Amino acid sequence: MLVRDFLAHRLFKLGVWIVLLVSAYLLQPYRAVIFVGNSMSPTYRNLEVALASTDISHIHKGDVVVIEGPEGIIVKRIAYMPGDWVDKFEFQGEWYYTDGYVVSPHSLDKLGSRVKRGQAWIPGGYIFVLGDNAVESVDSRQLGAIPISSIRCVLVHPKSGANS
């Protein structure tokens, strides 16, 4: 009976420690973020590690955020906030969003009347995100506006990038 009580007591203590450790992890205000891929290069390189905060109550344009999307986790920079207008254009039957860098208004002028221009409004509760490497990034230009509720954390002291 003593061995049984001893084991029960030890298992109970172990269970308490596991609950405390898991709770501490889930409630901690910071997370390590590992960049996988090149969509944020050259600002952040593949497998670079950064520190992120789970407090997303004060996000701003230029912040780098970790987003949980339908196809997994992505890390992108906020380019437009709710209420902002994004320039877009139609070329050969497809609509594209501009980011001011890869597709500038000047480069659209060269295409003349073959391009239809417009604007998209970012609704409340949504953001428009871009990768710093537009050529290799899947971002709001393909996915559209992203719900703010899908943001999991925001980088602490993000580096300046191409779109900030």
Query: How long, in residues, is the chain?
Result: 164
Q: For the full predicted model, state whether its pTM sits above 0.75.
A: no
* Contact predicate 155/52, CB 8 Å: yes
List, in order of start, the domains of the chain with CATH numbers: 30-84+122-155 (2.10.109.10)
Bridge partners, 34 (sequence order): 49
| pLDDT tens across the length of the chain (164 residues) | 577 777 777 887 888 788 767 766 666 788 888 899 999 998 999 999 999 999 999 999 999 999 998 778 999 999 999 999 988 877 677 667 766 555 555 555 666 666 677 888 999 999 999 998 888 888 888 888 999 999 999 998 777 765 55
Over its C-alpha atoms, the chain yields an Rg (Å, rounded) of 22
CA geometry: angle at 134 spanning 131 and 138, to 5°?
60
